[in-house]
Structure 1
Amino acid sequence: MVRPQVGLRSNGGMDDENLVPIGTAASRLGVSVATLRYWDERGLVAPAARRLGQRQYGPDELHRLAVVRSMQDGGAMSLDEIARLLHGPDSGEDWRPAARSALERVRAQIERLSAAADFLDHVLTCPSDHPVERCPRLREAVASRLHR
């Protein structure tokens, strides 16, 4: 498990040009600085260094942050599931069940969204002037949902 590097004051020999401050990292990822601090507190991604108390991230940390952000998009995974994925075999826990569970939820969400898109597509292309009230095909589809 990755542990936050409390009190780290140097960059451990890392090239300063490869480090970005927390504000820049947050901007690149489209999240708030508070979100990155929270992820650090949760042990998801520790900064590569701290400079004057400010978290600094290198390429590897930015990659991990982007993974967290990607997995959170659309509610694909919880932070606990993401932690298992990030820590992989180092956590002593198998990360695959969390990934499988998330994949099942994403596929179910895709099915629901696809059905919603089909519904809206029909509403927009229906020859009826008021599809919700007068379209026989739409009424039949909605009725079948009520009788499941």
Structure 2
Amino acid sequence: MQQLTPIATVVRHFGIPLSTLHYWERRNLLTAHRRGGRRCYDADQLYRIALIKQWQTTGMMSLDEIATLLTATRSESWHATVTAHITDIGNRVTELETARRYLDYLLTCTHTQLEQCPNYRATVTLPKPD
């Protein structure tokens, strides 16, 4: 007989709210066993919980992306999802680097009204009057 871990233990161990586990079940990302009317998880589901949590935090994936990865085999759809996510992360990194450069510039700008700064104005294209 396989060992089952009660949901309360899972919540404490992973630091995940009980409602999150219930939601993941409703989304068919997890399957709980019932023991005495209470939810319990086998080792495979515990690894799945850890994987979902890691994909959300480290991988910055949405539940929709995670659902795709969990239901797909290592086929083209699986690779397409991961490749698209890598591209999205690359775009966000570029945006964050641009934001960082701008904020670093703001720290050194001597103008009290930033819209008057010639360096700022050089980066903005204004509409031409009619």
The residue aligned with 2:103 is 120
**1:32 maps to which residue?**
17
Aligned residues of 2:3 and 2:42 also touching (Cα < 8 A): no
The 1:121–1:35 alpha-carbon spacing in structure 2 relative to 1, beyond 3 Å, is same
Q: What root-mean-square deviation, in Å, do the aligned CA atoms of Structure 1 and Structure 2 show?
A: 3.1
Of 54, 63, 76, which aligns to 1:79? Answer: 63
| Structure 1 unaligned regions, length at least 5 | 1-12
Aligned equivalent of 1:44: 29
Which of structures 1 and 2 has the larger relative contact order (alpha carbons within 8 angstroms, sep 6+)? 1
Which consecutive unaligned segments of at least 5 residues does structure 2 have? none
Alignment partner, residue 5 of structure 1: none
In the superposition, the TM-score normalised over structure 1's length comes to 0.65
What is the number of equivalent residue pairs in this alignment? Answer: 127
Corresponding residue of 1:106: 89
Give the direction of change, closer, same or farther, for the CA distance of 1:51–1:133 in structure 2 (3 Å limit): same
Percent of pairs with identical residues: 33
In the alignment, what sits opposite 1:7? none
**Residue range with higher mean Cα deviation, 22-31 or 64-73:** 22-31
